[in-house]
Amino acid sequence: EVQLAESGGGSVQPGGSLRLSCAASGFTFSYYWMHWVRQAPGKGLVWVSRINIDGRRTTYADFVEGRFTISRDNGKNTLHLQMNSLRAEDTAVYYCVRRRPGNDDAFDIWGQGTMVTVSP
Amino acid sequence: SYELTQPPSVSVSPGQTASITCSGDRLGDKFTCWYQQKSGQSPVLIIYQDNKRPSGIPERFSGSNSGNTATLTISGTQPMDEADYYCQAWDTNVVFGGGTKLTVL
């Protein structure tokens, strides 16, 4: 079964750091672009970051402002998101998502999400 | 930055047709996809490349995209279709619409 499983969420104080991980299974991880999408409580979906298949190309939403780093380990079928200088507005469920093959950015597989809470 | 606009809510009676719009500048020139998110669950892709359905998605879900508006249509809406629906496109980066809460009553 194709699956994505996030981990690493939790509660942290403003200015703190967290490292999210996403374990992929059931498909050839190294063939796919991967993304992170977040959803604040009661709010809509917001794109955060993406990484190409070999990890050499990364892109971030403007609000990241150099605070987050996306990476991947194709040998371990794992995606990461290192989040530094966290702010209260970063509080959200963070989803690891797989971009479907093709020339469009549609996400065909979503993880269950991991909750990040930033508060004093 | 590019923006996609959806109505906050849409209501439909069971068995009727629901239409959810997504508006953006020259959206018809881009591929649009749609996600369904039920309460407490992760989103599910239901339409990609404007009008294609992934395997396992019922035929009652369809999509179109022209001009400045993409539309998700649910024919013969069922109570199980009650959910939040999000459109998504790509400009310089991935962009989501604000979401539409579909109520079936």
Encode pLDDT of B41-74 as tens digits. Answer: 999 999 999 999 999 999 999 999 999 999 999 9
| CB nearest to A46's CB, from B37, B44, B96 | B96
DSSP symbols for B51-87: TB--TT--TTEEEEEETTEEEEEETT--GGG-EEEEE
CA geometry: angle B97, B103, B105, nearest 5 deg: 165
d(CA A51, CA B21): 30
Q: What is the pLDDT of residues A28-37, one digit of tens each?
A: 999 999 999 9
The tokens of A13 are what?
């104080």
Q: How many CB pairs below 8 Å do chains A and B form together?
A: 62
The tokens of A89 are what?
């507005």
Q: What residues of chain A lie within 8 A of the CB of B56, using their CB? A: none
Closest alpha carbon to B105 in B17, B12, B36, B19: B12
